[in-house]
Amino acid sequence: MSGEPVSHRIFIERLVIALAVIAVALLLWNLRGLFLLLFGAVLVSVILSLIAGPLRERLRFPPMLALLVAVLLVVLLIGTASWMFGAEVRRQADTLRELIPAAWTGLEARLDLWGFGDAAREWIESLRSGGGVVANFGNIAISVGNALADTLLVVVGGIYLAAQPGLYRVGLLKLVPARGRSLAAQALDASGRALRLWLLGRMVSMTAVGLLTWLGLMIIGVPSALTLGLLAALLEFIPFIGPIISAVPAMLLGFAAGPDKAIWVALLFLAIQQFEGNLLEPLVQQRAVDLPPALLLFALVAGGLVFGVVGIILAAPLTVVLYVMVKRLYVQEALDTATPLPGEAKA
């Protein structure tokens, strides 16, 4: 008889623990958007540290002054770019908005001549009725205000993180048991170094792709070349998907001018991606992070399924952090297998 109350108590304790674990899991799932915003703030802080670091190390600026100068430099860069190119970009963007509907009409006419017009219209109609991007365009427009608020939160949070990185690092390590803090600190340092190198590599690729797209479209004679080049540079941040999206409006405008010009536009984007993937990227990755393409592709899909559009945008840098964490904590530590980490000499 004495064993029944004990067994009953153990059952209740295990049930309470299971319910607590489920509740915590549900809470974390509902807060997944907040964690993504936090990671965005970490990216902002890393970008600011890339600028403030040389000021502290080479020019001996105090940390807070170096951060202030870094913020001012970013604001000055954005302001200068807006002053120099803002009016032209706005003019070209207005032209682009006017030309794309006419270009689509011209494309439909050409598809009718080739016998594919009805199929294209049925596909567009299926997107409208099936809850695709076209059907949700109104919701996307409504969410712009929330996106701006989230962006402001990420920027301000990134500045706070960059102002006192040691404070948040120590606080995070205190959540780890004492015996594992040294290893956790090494993993954090390795992932932070990898993230900085990856961001530097992306900046190089984005700049090169934007300039080449702008110059190539100007030579071909596609309207709004500067705006399309800027769009290509920004979307280059998203591997695989970004270049495809940036090519769509340029291809559409090329079709409006004639199939031959559309072919030249397609060849231009293909040549730029070949240059970026086969020449520029290997040079950059020698000092950055060489992610397996299949891993990155499925990470983009997973980011989109779990977090939506923002998850696709941040999937690559988040994968860099997780990739390095797994290599340091599991491959090197748990499996005792030698594997190089970004920024370290390969064995």
- pLDDT band at residue 21 using 50, 70 and 90 as cut-offs: confident
Confidence (pTM): 0.77
Domain count, the chain: 1
Q: Which of 73, 86, 321, 13 is nearest to 197 (CA)?
A: 321
Residue 297 placed within a domain: yes
Range of the structural domain that residue 237 is part of: 31-334
Spatial distance between the Cα atoms of 118 and 68, rounded to a whole number of angstroms: 58
Query: What share of the chain has pLDDT > 70, as a percent?
Result: 79
Residue 236 placed within a domain: yes
Residue 26 placed within a domain: no
Q: DSSP H helical segments within 174-240, as ranges?
A: 181-220, 225-235
Spatial distance between the Cα atoms of 175 and 181, rounded to a whole number of angstroms: 9
Residue 10 placed within a domain: no
Q: Is the pLDDT of residue 235 over 80?
A: yes
Q: Which helix (H) or strand (E) covers residue 133, if one does?
A: none
Residue 40 placed within a domain: yes
Lowest mean pLDDT segment, chosen from 218-222, 253-257, 268-272, 325-329: 253-257
Q: Please report how many Cα atoms fall inside a 13 Å half-sphere around the Cα of residue 131, on the Cβ side.
A: 0
Determine the pLDDT at residue 284: 72
Q: E strands within the chain? A: none
Q: What is the CB neighbour count within 10 angstroms for residue 269?
A: 22
Tokens of 104: 């689509």
Residues sharing a CB contact under 8 Å with residue 271, sequence separation 6 or more, in sequence order = 216
Per 3-state DSSP, what percentage of the chain is helix, strand, and coil (rounded to 5)? 85, 0, 15
Please indicate whether residue 9 or residue 347 has the higher confidence score (pLDDT). 9
Residue 3 placed within a domain: no
Q: Is the pLDDT of residue 119 over 70?
A: no
Residue 205 placed within a domain: yes
Residue 235 placed within a domain: yes
